[in-house]
A and B are shown apart, each in its own frame.
Chain A
């Protein structure tokens, strides 16, 4: 009898063991995100007793370095959160991550709109699903604007006109909007694309979609913002120290009364504001005859599955749970912006969570023409550095606008020719 039991145990043991699946999942985030995702993962485990998930999370700093090493070493996690522009780093040909179409029976891809899916697709292979979308929009400190006797600007001209009013009525240390160089680049890009109606980086031709003269015009436009006291110049900004924009004293106390900010990041700008002030979303300024709003509309973050995972089915189940399951949706709410998944939007609308600045932002985006999708290479580290480099030299007066246009044009083309393969 005992031997029989032993044999039975031996026969059952390994099979029972084989059913046990351990997944690894990585993400970056802050306190709220960590708590929410851990909670959701535990619920997922409760629903799927044969799956355990090891959560490997960090803050934002260093996450890309860590993931790069892991992927290079073939030890990447099964499910990972990635940034949209990392797709071009890890999956140039679409084979870097699992093609989610192959696990289509486990994930309800129908919940995601075509635009969002297209941004996660490379060569017809669905590499990643967006959790939420993001774009940069104009936000203003309504309290300071009221003090200046103005309402937040609705056009480029009104923005330019607000500068002198701020200077004269409130004082020279008051500005309608604070732009650090990366914001300047994004803002002048939007201003330019409104007229050109094309993405600034042409991925197929591996070229920048602007002449040196047009790039010089972008520099001139920035200069006109500085000259009109709309935004502090680089020297003034530098005098407040090397601090994150939302932690700068003048932002906190309302002297810098605006930001051109990612819809997903505006929350932290509001959190740091000194009490008694309020931030509003302003209508997006459009140039006369604009073909497009020139938004940097892209996924705020995405989830992907390791191409080499031994458990594609279980990984897909986890992804489906996090993006489309009611429990996970209600836990995440709008902490990562308005979700892309239709099911999630319905759920959050039904329970009254769908309100606030991020929801307003999405309503605004829906009304704006945003057919121009900027290439992910615009956010490639080398391209970004070349932009910052050129704008910085210009902003400090080391080169003039024409030199800057030529330099930027040549540098970006050289980098694109080398980077896009």
Chain B
């Protein structure tokens, strides 16, 4: 007779406690997720049902919204817009991470003449509203002949234009002990090697946070593509979703909800994959220790 695995029985009060706690957690979690569930449910509702009921389970489920939404009212299918989004977002994320890292490294570890002033300028760019730059930048990109291409949307990222990310990486770097780098210098590393072999592995959580933030912001960016891209064939998802919302025509929300659900999937997947680093990254930057 094999001994039964010892079943650790919780005391009665502990079990009740756990049941109550999980019930609350599940309840609140459900409330938080409700808008998301509603969006997914809405994708399968006929249009007139969307405003009529608050429940997310469709009474008369239909694939019409998904099919029509994917076809769109334009000459292109939604796949074109998804691909366009990735053609903008992927280079943008890569360039942002590399450039922000280099600039942050310089600010955090090197003595540069006028560093304080430059740093103040960098912080000032965070506070500057983006719409102020719109027309001057538009004119500049027109002179470069970049209008109606993806270039104006991601090339600026190669110059660490997102001051917030630079600031975030600097704060993170300040928490790292300089002794590690000194040891690397003794071992014969030059500045770039220190960055590559010593700092980058330690900074990984921060870099992943930067990449995730930039990914989400760029996916949702509306004004940039709106102004720089004039051809419909170049539109990203953020523009395509608003294409059918007019002032005189009732909006087919089921199509928009269906396509929003599809457009959300990449962000959602990426977030789940990188979640561990992301949560670590946003918190470790905040606490010095």
Residues of A within 8 A of B (CB): 24, 26, 28-35, 38, 54-62, 65-66, 69-70, 72-75, 77, 246-247, 249, 252-253, 262, 264-265, 267-268, 271-272, 274-275, 300, 335-337
Contacts and interface: CB of A to CB of B under 8 A. Distances in A.
A312 to B, nearest CB: 20
Contact of B51 (A30, A249, A265): A249
Contacts of A56: 230-232
B51 A252 contact: yes
Interface of B: 48, 51-52, 73-75, 134-135, 138-139, 142, 147, 222-223, 226-227, 230-232, 239, 242-252, 255
Given A30-B251, A34-B74, A249-B51, A59 B244 contact: yes
Contacts of A70: 230
A33 B246 contact: yes
Nearest to A34: B73
Given A65-B223, A265-B247, A274 B252 contact: no
Contact of B250 (A77, A253, A268, A274): A268
Contacts of A60: 245-247
Closest 5 CB pairs of A and B: A30-B249, A30-B246, A271-B250, A31-B73, A268-B250
A141 to B, nearest CB: 16
Given A30-B248, A31-B244, A38-B74, A57 B142 contact: no
Q: Which of A57, A66, A300 has most chain B Cβ within 10 Å?
A: A66
B249 to A, nearest CB: 3
Contacts of A31: 73, 244, 249, 252, 255
A275 B251 CA distance: 17
A249 B52 CA distance: 7
9 contacts: A24-B230, A30-B249, A32-B249, A34-B74, A54-B230, A65-B227, A265-B247, A335-B249, A337-B248
B266 to A, nearest CB: 22
Q: Which of B74, B134, B138, B251 has most chain A Cβ within 10 Å?
A: B251
A59 B246 contact: yes
A253 B48 CA distance: 11
B142 A75 contact: yes
A72 B252 CA distance: 33
A35 B75 CA distance: 8
B156 to A, nearest CB: 16
Contacts of A300: 248
Contacts of A35: 73
Contacts of A252: 51-52
B222 A268 contact: no
B249 A268 contact: yes
B131 to A, nearest CB: 9
Contacts of B247: 60, 265
Nearest to A335: B249
A287 to B, nearest CB: 29
Given A73-B139, A271-B250, A58 B243 contact: yes
Contacts of B249: 29-33, 267-268, 335
